[in-house]
């Protein structure tokens, strides 16, 4: 088994349980709590996560006609 096959399996497992955006946000939150990320970096990532998630939700609702 190659390294690429292993990373593909990991991606498939992660994809089943959570989105990558949420995973990035959770890791950043953990880094904030341990003092490895500043509050301004966490705030930027949080705004990006919330903004992109809202955009995706709106696009899905518009495409499928859900109000």
State pLDDT tens for residues 20-61.
Answer: 778 888 889 999 999 999 999 999 988 888 888 788 878 888
pLDDT digits (tens, 9 = 90+) for 9-26: 776 766 666 677 788 888
pLDDT greater at residue 6 or residue 30? 30
* pLDDT number for residue 67: 55
Distance set, CA 28 to CA 2, 42, 67 (Å): 29, 6, 32
Nearest residue to 45 (alpha-carbon basis) of 29, 30, 61, 57: 29
* pLDDT number for residue 2: 55
Give the integer Cα–Cα distance in Å for 49 and 28: 11
pTM reported for the whole predicted model? 0.56
């Amino acid at each position: 088994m190659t390294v690429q096959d292993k990373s593909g399996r990991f991606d498939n497992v992660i994809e089943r349980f959570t989105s990558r955006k949420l995973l990035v946000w959770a890791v950043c939150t953990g880094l904030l709590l341990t003092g490895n990320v500043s509050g301004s970096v966490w705030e930027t990532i949080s705004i990006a996560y919330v903004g992109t998630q809202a955009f995706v939700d709106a696009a899905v609702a518009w495409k499928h006609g859900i109000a």
